[in-house]
């Protein structure tokens, strides 16, 4: 199995990061949907209890994936169009902005945050920082739903490229052949 990307397909590390993040994002979206549609149920409590920790993990993975992408920039399969490139940039921007805004809100609340037992931020005494809490309250959910819409569009476009355009872009991210 190739580790690095090539002009024809993504390497093992890129595929591992892509599909791991896809699974984690599906879990995050499921937890948000359960929070809205099945509030105060066992499903909601189970899924929501993981939302913040997995959000922090996703933010770490998107940074690692971005660094890996820069390392592989000259090797990667070419974008099919300017729109594809802009769509991917929007996905990355939202995958950074959504958890970053949540972290700003968390800090502003004054509560400690230790995902998976790793102290990321300590809490503080005194009044919360209202603009930070308000930023999270206004934009975390909105941008999260926007990210979901872009992810659905991303999957839809990959399917459409194969069915209508004859370009099987999904093999770039799924094929194990050299």
Render 89-157 in DSSP notation, one character per residue.
HHHHHHHHHHHHHHHHHHHHHT--B-GGG---B---SS---HHHHHHHHHHHHHHHHHHHHHHHHHHHH
pLDDT, residue 176, reads: 61
Predicted confidence at residue 177, as pLDDT, reads 59
Measured at the CA of 38, the angle between CA 35 and CA 44, to 5 degrees, comes to 55
Tell me the pTM.
0.91
Give the Cα-Cα-Cα angle 96, 100, 102 (nearest 5 degrees).
130
The per-residue pLDDT for 142 is 98
User: What torsion, rounded to 10 degrees, do the Cα atoms 20, 63, 31, 144 define?
Assistant: -130
Residue 154's nearest CA partner among 96, 43, 97, 80 is 80
Helices and strands, counts by H and E, the chain = 6, 0
State the DSSP code for 88: H
Low-confidence ranges of the chain (pLDDT < 50): none
């Amino acid at each position: 199995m190739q580790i690095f990307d090539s002009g024809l397909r993504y390497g093992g590390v890129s595929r591992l990061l892509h599909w791991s993040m896809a699974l984690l994002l599906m879990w995050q979206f499921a937890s948000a949907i359960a929070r809205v549609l099945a509030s105060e149920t066992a499903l909601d409590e189970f899924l929501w209890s993981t939302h913040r920790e997995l959000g922090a993990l996703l933010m770490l993975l998107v940074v690692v994936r971005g660094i890996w992408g820069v390392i592989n920039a000259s090797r990667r399969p070419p974008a099919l169009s300017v729109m594809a490139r802009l769509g991917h940039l929007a996905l990355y921007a939202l995958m950074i902005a959504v958890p970053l805004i949540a972290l700003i809100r968390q800090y502003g609340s004054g509560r400690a945050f230790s995902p998976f037992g790793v102290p990321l931020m300590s809490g503080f005494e005194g009044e919360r920082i209202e603009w930070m809490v308000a930023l999270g309250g206004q934009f975390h959910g909105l941008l999260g739903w926007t990210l979901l819409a872009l992810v659905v569009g991303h999957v839809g476009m990959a399917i459409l490229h194969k069915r209508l355009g004859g370009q099987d872009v999904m093999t770039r991210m799924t094929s194990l052949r050299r």
